[in-house]
Amino acid sequence: MNASLAKLCKVKEIRTAVLVTLGLFLVYRIGFFVPLPGVDLQ
C-alpha cells in the first residue's frame, strides 16, 4: 500500500486533485462550525 501511495504522489495531476479535494474538505469542516446570522440551530 505504501508503494501505491508513493506512486500517487509522483503523478502531478493526481497529487493536485487529491490536495484540492482535501483542501475543500478542510474548508467545509471549518465552515461547519462558523455560526450564520439568522439561522437558529434548535
Q: Quick one: pLDDT at residue 21?
A: 97
Q: Is residue 7 part of a domain?
A: yes
Distance in angstroms (rounded) separating the CA atoms of residues 26 and 4? 24
Structural domain boundaries, residue 6: 2-32
List pLDDT tens digits, range 1-42: 678 878 877 889 988 999 999 999 999 999 888 877 877 767
Q: Is residue 25 part of a domain?
A: yes
Q: Is residue 9 part of a domain?
A: yes
Q: What is the 3-state secondary structure (H, E, C) of the chain?
A: CHHHHHHHHHCHHHHHHHHHHHHHHHHHHHHHCCCCCCCCCC
Q: Quick one: pLDDT at residue 35?
A: 79
Number of domains in the chain: 1
